[in-house]
Structure 1
Amino acid sequence: MSDHGDRSGGAIGGSVRHVPVLLAEVLEALAPQAGGRYLDGTFGAGGYSRAILDAAPEVTLLGLDRDPSAIAGGADLVAAMAGRLTLSQANFGELAEEAERFRMTPLDGVVLDIGVSSMQIDQAERGFSFRFDGPLDMRMSGSGQSAADLVNEAEEGLLANIFYHYGEERRSRAVARAVVEARRKAPITTTKQLADLVAGIVRGEPGGAHPATRVFQALRIAVNDELGELVRALHAAETVLKPGGRLVVVTFHSLEDRIVKQFFAERSGRVSAGSRHAPAVAVAQPTFRLVEKGAVAPSEAEMRANPRARSAKLRAAERNDAPSRRADAGLVALSTVPAPQPRRRP
């Protein structure tokens, strides 16, 4: 995950200037305070981090990114901030452990910008985009199972579930079947191979996204466990934010936003409404107060200037002094692909 705020939930990328999405809105929601301690869980090219550090005197910030190239690219900013910025290569789901390790707790604010970055998309060798032909990789950290490994080794039922649940691809079973048939002849190793295969199965809409967009999104999410990381990060932020500390999350597609929305709704609720058939039932004590009642979207001007901002949504909440709670099983379920069901015998 790289240049902050210039992320996209899709797979197609062109070369554009790295401009942080919803930057003014992020700063307003985060409200950096003088001497505050903040954590940027998705550092990227440092767009949000720099703005937070410049927003108030004596702010210190810990930036995390699983991409080693993002950490290396932030060296000049670290030097320029003269001890106020620390970078660590880590998943944002590990933010509580990292904040403790660098003695940054309790935090005054956490910001997360979820999705793939334009820099990663624009590098053909990273394999995130079918706009360029490159190896079918998609690993943000550069290690572990690649998209090619998944495509060539996973069983048909699992591939179909990944395409359906992470990509919302309606023709998921047909695509999975075609993948399995194709790999019997030769491994699928490049982005063009996969994109062409999917384009032969999924009909594209005139003027719409490429037919392979949803499949590429699904594979990227699966390879990097993006939704699982998001769930872990939300719960981790709850444990390290001080009362009055704020959690700001920018998402780029409905799967991410659904998780954030449900987390904030569950963590800020007080009692169920009840009905004439059943009394209201007390729920666990709220741990957050919503800063915004709903999602904040980019302005028309920002979307014209940066088309990749069009799907962005910002949600924010403020921590109170209630004890942190257990992980929400419902959110974990939302982030997990169901296991394939056994085939029925005829």
Structure 2
Amino acid sequence: MENTDYHIPVMLNECIDGLQINPEGIYVDVTFGGGGHSKAILDKLTTGKLYAFDQDDDAKANADKIDDPNLIFIKANFRFIKKFLRVHRVKKVDGILADLGISSHQIDEPTRGFSTRFDGELDMRMNNAEGVSAKNIVNEYSVEDLHKILGMYGEIKNARTAAQTIEMGRSAKPIETIAELKSILEPVAPKHREFKYFAQVFQALRIEVNEEMKVLEEFLQQTPEILNPGGRLVVMSYHSLEDRMVKNFIRGGHIDGKIVKDFYGNIQKPLEAVTRKPKTATDEELQRNPRSRSAKLRIAQKPLEQD
């Protein structure tokens, strides 16, 4: 039974179709979350195995509820995919799924500090047992560093003004809660577009807290070596920065868009795009799950002649 209270899996059928699951194959879901995608993969396996990664305690609790001998849960960040698969004596797999969005549960849980809709402590750590929190960033980063992450990861137009406003706000007292940060930034938020503005600020902080772009880069670079020839990589992203990295990597093997050609002018790339353009949610899914509106799904395959 799908745990929809926790997270509604986005483009579930498209992800499963993209993996082209062999019932006896080995698959990896690097973002287990509520387990929606993982359960659908397990339903198609007979003797095959699914290795599911997630560093979140709530995700581990969800995995513990699944009684299936084909599921192996690994409580770790997927930037370490190759290392932890080797621990389990797995060198090659037939498919890898990455749903880069945060779960509905994480957004809707006020204590996690991910959402602008609730008040709570500024945290935003996927693994809330370690690392730097959003509270550390807004209180300790220099104006220059705040300007950089708000502009680059949040794509807000007045990033410098926002950074200076945060610095002024924290000079009076440390910024500790969501409400305090919103109150400080409210005067510089565009009128009638405050909700979107705060969402962009929170996106920037979340990406920085969890090193999401670095994690994605490290993960992508490991996938060609891990995949069997003919194996599939299915990645769903939710903002343009992630999608650009995935697109560039599939196109030429480099996240920065660099293209390297061989002597004959052929692009040297470890994977081949299965979908020329990213897949997006259907109108029916958009009505059922508004959070799917920004999702872009890209599918790639390791060429059969490669190993």
Give me the TM-score of the superposition, normalised by structure 2. Answer: 0.92
Partner of 1:310: 293
- Superposed, 1:86-105 pairs within 5 Å as 86-105=72-91
Query: Aligned partner of 1:52: which letter?
Result: I
Q: Which whole-Å CA distance do the structure 2 matches of 1:259 and 1:74 have between them?
A: 29
Kindly state the Cα deviation for residue 204 of structure 1 after the two structures are TM-superposed: 3.8
Q: Which whole-Å CA distance do the structure 2 matches of 1:233 and 1:196 have between them?
A: 37
Consecutive unaligned residues of structure 2, counting only runs of 5 or more, are none
Query: Aligned partner of 2:282: which letter?
Result: S
- Superposed, 1:200-219 pairs within 5 Å as 200-205=187-192, 209-219=195-205
Instruction: Tell whether the 8 Å contact from 1:113 to 1:249 is kept in structure 2 after alignment.
Output: yes
Partner of 2:33: 44
SS of residue in 2 equivalent to 1:29: helix
Instruction: Tell whether the 8 Å contact from 1:199 to 1:211 is kept in structure 2 after alignment.
Output: no
Q: Which whole-Å CA distance do the structure 1 matches of 2:212 and 2:9 have between them?
A: 20
Query: Aligned partner of 2:48: which letter?
Result: V
Partner of 1:336: none
Consecutive unaligned residues of structure 1, counting only runs of 5 or more, are 7-15, 274-278, 324-346
Q: Of 115, 138, 147, which residue of structure 2 is paired with 1:160?
A: 147
Partner of 1:330: none
SS of residue in 2 equivalent to 1:116: coil
Partner of 1:193: 180
Q: Which whole-Å CA distance do the structure 1 matches of 2:291 and 2:52 have between them?
A: 23
Q: Of 11, 18, 24, which residue of structure 2 is paired with 1:35?
A: 24
Query: Aligned partner of 2:152: which letter?
Result: H
Kindly state the Cα deviation for residue 152 of structure 1 after the two structures are TM-superposed: 0.3
Instruction: Tell whether the 8 Å contact from 2:260 to 2:267 is kept in structure 1 after alignment.
Output: yes
Q: Of 243, 267, 271, which residue of structure 1 is paired with 2:229?
A: 243
Kindly state the Cα deviation for residue 108 of structure 1 after the two structures are TM-superposed: 0.4
Partner of 1:132: 118
Q: Which whole-Å CA distance do the structure 2 matches of 1:300 and 1:204 have between them?
A: 30
Kindly state the Cα deviation for residue 116 of structure 1 after the two structures are TM-superposed: 1.6
Higher RCO (CA < 8 A, seq sep 6+): 1
Q: Which whole-Å CA distance do the structure 1 matches of 2:259 and 2:155 have between them?
A: 33
Q: Which whole-Å CA distance do the structure 1 matches of 2:93 and 2:298 have between them?
A: 18
Kindly state the Cα deviation for residue 51 of structure 1 after the two structures are TM-superposed: 0.3
Kindly state the Cα deviation for residue 58 of structure 1 after the two structures are TM-superposed: 2.0
**Structure 1, residues 125-171: CA drift from partner, whole Å, max 9, x if none?**
11111211000000110111100001100100000000000000111
Moved more, 249-258 or 195-204: 195-204
Partner of 2:102: 116
Query: Aligned partner of 1:102: which letter?
Result: H
Kindly state the Cα deviation for residue 280 of structure 1 after the two structures are TM-superposed: 7.3
**Structure 1, residues 152-201: CA drift from partner, whole Å, max 9, x if none?**
00100000000000000111000100110111110000011111222221
Instruction: Tell whether the 8 Å contact from 1:204 to 1:211 is kept in structure 2 after alignment.
Output: no
Query: Using a 3 Å threshold, how does the CA distance of structure 1 residues 281 and 291 change in structure 2: closer, same or farther?
Result: closer
Instruction: Tell whether the 8 Å contact from 1:270 to 1:282 is kept in structure 2 after alignment.
Output: no
**Structure 1, residues 223-243: CA drift from partner, whole Å, max 9, x if none?**
000111111111111111110
Instruction: Tell whether the 8 Å contact from 2:252 to 2:260 is kept in structure 1 after alignment.
Output: no
Q: Which whole-Å CA distance do the structure 1 matches of 2:253 and 2:141 have between them?
A: 36
Partner of 1:11: none
Instruction: Tell whether the 8 Å contact from 1:198 to 1:211 is kept in structure 2 after alignment.
Output: no
Partner of 1:13: none
Partner of 2:70: 84
Partner of 2:306: 322
Instruction: Tell whether the 8 Å contact from 2:156 to 2:197 is kept in structure 1 after alignment.
Output: no
Instruction: Tell whether the 8 Å contact from 1:125 to 1:134 is kept in structure 2 after alignment.
Output: yes
Q: Which whole-Å CA distance do the structure 2 matches of 1:24 and 1:115 have between them?
A: 17
Instruction: Tell whether the 8 Å contact from 2:6 to 2:103 is kept in structure 1 after alignment.
Output: no
Give me the TM-score of the superposition, normalised by structure 1. Answer: 0.82
Query: Using a 3 Å threshold, how does the CA distance of structure 1 residues 204 and 315 change in structure 2: closer, same or farther?
Result: farther
SS of residue in 1 equivalent to 2:225: helix
Q: Which whole-Å CA distance do the structure 2 matches of 1:244 and 1:45 have between them?
A: 28
**Structure 1, residues 229-285: CA drift from partner, whole Å, max 9, x if none?**
111111111111110110000011111101000000113999769xxxxx974543x
Partner of 1:64: 53
Q: Of 252, 259, 264, which residue of structure 1 is paired with 2:250?
A: 264
**Structure 1, residues 1-25: CA drift from partner, whole Å, max 9, x if none?**
xx99x9xxxxxxxxx6622100000
1:172 aligns with 2:177: no
Partner of 1:340: none
